[in-house]
Homo-oligomer: A and B are copies of this chain.
Amino acid sequence: MAQQIKARRRVQLSRDRVLHAAVALADDSGIESLSMRKLADELGVVPMALYKHVAHKEELLDGMIDVVVGEIDPPVTGTDWKSAVRQRILSARRALLRHPWASRVMESKTVPTPVVLEYMDSMIGMFRAGGFSVNLTHHVMHSIGSRVLGFTQELFNDSETARPEVQAIMLREMAAKYPYVMEIAGAASHEGESVVGAGCDDQFEFEFALDLLLDGFERLRRKQSTSIGT
């Protein structure tokens, strides 16, 4: 009784409530008009209250991305790699269409969150399971590029490298959690001194995907009598 009268000062804030409110707000007012102050307003709380649940706005954005990525369906099982990958990518697309700001926010990030890495890892796993070699999978992931989400480009940018020892520890951790990601990263960077990244030739990857598309175009051009090529 007494408890009920004192009652919660609303529903009680939580990281999750903050994140979901932020996503909703961005969905219908646009990401550029999402401010800590408006978000706080929406939650019936003073701006600084949010900082008990997220360290700063950047972290809020990270969390929002994780919410979106969390909406992507897990891989379907019991089919060939192709339709499994296809369905997954279409599910990702649906999530991004629901939250049009998301791809832009992702593109502005340099370091992926664990949730994003997890998604990437399982995506890579689908190709590996489908019989793709490590190298081929690597190129193929680059080809898909923004189709897989939009952040493939510079997954590992080595600009903010920690001290080697720390890096080694992180590496071991990562290898445990994201085996497929590491497999690819490792294959690409055997000779380089930096353990991650830097071994991947961006230019090559770009042209690989470009030529894949151009070859496809040429094939279509040559038989332009199908319904699609009219």
Contacts and interface: CB of A to CB of B under 8 A. Distances in A.
Interface stretch (A4-12, A111-119, A220-228): A220-228
A132 interface: yes
Q: Which secondary structure characterizes the binding site on chain A?
A: helix
A32 B32 CA distance: 12
B132 A206 contact: no
A35 interface: no
Interface stretch (A70-78, A164-172, A177-185, A207-215): A207-215
A81 to B, nearest CB: 8
Interface stretch (A21-29, A41-49, A134-142): A134-142
Contacts of A146: 145-146
A96 to B, nearest CB: 11
* Interface magnitude class on chain A: 35 or more
Contacts of A56: none
Contact of A217 (B135, B140, B217): B140
Nearest to A130: B221
A86 B215 contact: no
Given A93-B206, A104-B107, A145-B146, A136 B224 contact: yes
A89 interface: yes
Interface string A130-174: 111101100110011111000000000000000000000000000
Contacts of A229: 133, 135-136
B213 A144 contact: yes
A152 to B, nearest CB: 11
A201 interface: no
B147 A209 contact: yes
Given A136-B220, A212-B213, 13 more contacts: A32-B108, A85-B214, A86-B210, A89-B210, A132-B221, A135-B229, A139-B228, A140-B217, A145-B146, A147-B209, A147-B213, A208-B228, A216-B216
